[in-house]
Structure formats: structure tokens, C-alpha cells
Amino acid sequence: MWKLLLAILCAGLTACMKPPEPGNKLQEGEAAMAAKEADQLFRAEENFVRPLGRTYFLNDTLWMALSGSGAEFRFSGRRAEITLKGDQVALRQSNHARIGIYVNGERVVDDLLNEPLKTYTVFENVSEQDVVVRIIKLSEAAMSTAGIHEIRVNAVDGIQPTQDSARKIEFIGDSITAGYGVDDEVKEHGFSTATEDVTKTYAFKTAAALQADYSIVAYSGYGIISGYTGSDEKVDSQLVPDYYDKMGRSDGRIDGTIEVMSIPWDFDKFLPDLIVINLGTNDDSYALDDAEKQAQYRDAYVEFLKQVRSHNADAHLMCTLGMMGDRLYPMVEQAAAAYTNETGDANISVLKFDVQLPADGHAAHWHPTEATHSKAAGKLIAKIKDVMEWQVPQ
């Protein structure tokens, strides 16, 4: 009898321990495939995403060039996947577009776009959650562009654009505003898109603190009458006024074929309440202490203010300078006054930033560190609250 019981027990144990039937694995695979098939494909069009900064939609792709440009959307679901598209610079060895992707405010992707196509799974969860995804170009326009090619989500109702903020600010500047070298606090180092991060700049910090949408137009080495120069020669190929009316200026080409500077910018797409101009650091390398050259800068600044105003009828213009030197700041003050005298337009103000301190360190090529940017943002925020009478809920 005991032999019969033992045989029955062993048979039971064997049945419990045997591997699952092939059908079980097939069902798991089918479930995974069904989940994948349940993903919905979207393009970064304005009825699905909210563009950030200056962007351009072409061939099912939303293209980004300038610092901080990108898109934001929300959904309720279990999964999100983003495919980005590179330009011809992606095939080179350096200065690829640096991209940041955020999920509910947390950066989950920080990468250089060094391939024609890159896909990132940015969110995955077993249960549905409310999710906001933000895609930002962290590096500047001059070197490379990038496109948001596909958005795939497993979601209840697809994706929707997030809401615009009630306030809008445009920032116009140079390498400081673009975040040159902010991730490389070795002052002897040079330029690299890999160490640019616009989110650590005074501009981005100011917009965030004031709960404002932003658009950033910034190019390293650019000025109003001259780009950066180490000699007496004027660099008139690097002037912001030449490209302000365009989507941007870049060595990268949209979809690998279209010059960014050939695309006129539609100023109706972003109507700022305030425009902060921070230009003169590179002009100073040319003007130095030469009174005649400084006067050229002042007079050209007046003309640039007229150009900006022609596209932004109601925005307050705020002229700033000083983080990397304030020698030309008196010319900024004179330009603002001359502009008002010539046009009768008094919707303008000036602000001198404090010169960066050695105690706060220096980023690559003597540029401001994040600590310096934070101090500048604090000063700018206080000025804006005063001039614009903006209150920010705590």
C-alpha cells in the first residue's frame, strides 16, 4: 500500500514541477504583441502637441533648432515612446543636437542625437497614469537641428497639447543665453554642444519662476555690430539682427535639405508680453574702449529695437547686459533713451546684470556657471515683477 501512495505522490509532484505548456508562452507573447499593437502613433502636430519656441513642421516631423525649442503633450496611459530624427550633423563626429526629454517634470532622457533616428521609451507602467511629456533641445541652433518624428503611446484617449501659460517672454541673446559650457566648469575648455544646457540659464530659470512660456533666440559668438573677435577686425557674419526674422540660423539642415535661415518666422505664432535682450558681450570684443565703435553699437542697437518692435507691437522691451562684462552698458542705456526719443515708444526699460564673480566659478571659455545664472535670474525676476506688475502664486 505504501508503495502505491508513494507512486501517487511522486506523480503529483512531477505534475506540479513540469514546465508550462507551450501555449502559455504563446499567450504571453500574444499579450505583449496585443499591447504593442494597442500603441497609437501620433505626429507632433499642433492638434496633438504644444510647440515650445520656434519650430517648423515638415514631412511628418516637428523640427527644432533654437535653444529650448521643442514640444509638450499630455496623456493618460501606460506607455510612451519618442522617435527623434537627426539632420546631416548627426552623422558627423561632434556638435550633435543635445536633447532632454522630461516626464512629469523629471528628465528621463539626456542624449546627443548622433544617429539619423533614435527611439526612446520614456514612460512605462503597469497601470494607467496621467503623464506630461516635454521634449527640449538643450543645445543651440548654430550647430545642429533635430526633429520629433514619432510619438507612440498606449493611452486611453490619445495625446493632447498642454495649455499655454498666461504669460509669454522672448529672450534674445548670445552664448550666455544659450548656456554655453554651463555643464563644464573648466574655464580653459572650449565650445561643445554636449556641455550646453539651456535649462540652467538665467532665461529658462526666469521663465519657469514666473510661470511663463518662453521663446529663446540665442547664438554663441553673435552680436549687434560684430560677432566675437580676437582682433580689430569686425565679424559681420555673426549678427543677430540678420536672423531675427527667420526660424533660426544653423549649420544643420531641416530634414537634411532645407536651410533653417531660409524659413521666415511667423511672429503670430508667439506673441510675447515681454522681450528681454541681452546682446553686447561679443560686440565689446570689437568695440573695446574705442568711443567711435561704441557709438556704432549704440546706433545699431536703436535700429535693432525698431526691428524687434516692428514684429512685436505690444511687448515690453527690456535691454540688459553685464554678466561677462559691463563696459558697453552705458551704450545700452543711451540706445534705449534714443529709441524712445526717436519713436515716442516708452514701453522699454534697462537692467544691468552683476558681473560674474570668481567665487561662483567659470564655465567653459570663462562663461557663467549655473550659480551665476541663478543670481542673474533672481535680479531679472525682481525687475520683471516690478515693471510688468506680475504676481506669482506661491
**pLDDT tens digits for range 270-312:** 999 999 999 999 999 999 999 999 999 999 999 999 999 999 9
Write out pLDDT tens, residues 38-90: 799 999 999 999 999 999 999 999 999 999 999 999 999 999 999 999 999 99
Give the count of beta carbons closer than 10 Å to the beta carbon of residue 40: 14
* 156 and 180 in a common domain: no
* Same domain (yes/no): 132, 209: no
- Choosing from 124, 141, 161, the residue where a domain stops is 161
For residues 172 and 9, what is the distance between their CA atoms, to the nearest angstrom?
81
**Which band of pLDDT confidence, cut at 50, 70 and 90, is reported for residue 336?**
very high
Residue type, 91: L
Please count the structural domains in the chain: 2
Q: Are residues 57 and 139 in the same domain?
A: yes
The predicted model gives 312-337 an average pLDDT of 98
Q: Quick one: 108 and 177 in the same domain?
A: no
Range of the domain at 153: 40-161
Question: What is the band of 36 on the pLDDT scale with cuts at 50, 70, 90?
Answer: low
Residues 187 and 73 in one domain: no
∠ CA(45), CA(51), CA(53), 5° rounding?
145
Single out the residue of 367, 365, 368 nearest to residue 376, CA to CA.
368
HSE at residue 104, side-chain half, CA atoms within 13 A, is 8
Do 52 and 139 lie in one domain? The reply is yes
> Which cell goes with 27?
499567450
Tell me, yes or no, whether 230 and 301 share the same domain: yes
Together in a domain, 100 and 144:
yes
Which of 161, 180, 196 represents a domain boundary (last residue)? 161
Phi, psi of 296 (to 5 degrees): -60, -45
Decide which of 135, 161, 187 is a domain's last residue: 161
To the question of pTM greater than 0.85 for the whole model, the response is: yes
Phi-psi region of 12 (alpha: psi -120 to 50; beta: other; left: phi over 0): alpha
Nearest Cα neighbor of 336 from 270, 272, 273, 279 is 279
Is 50 exceeded by the pLDDT of residue 179?
yes
pLDDT tens by residue, 103-143: 999 999 999 999 999 999 999 999 999 999 999 999 999 99
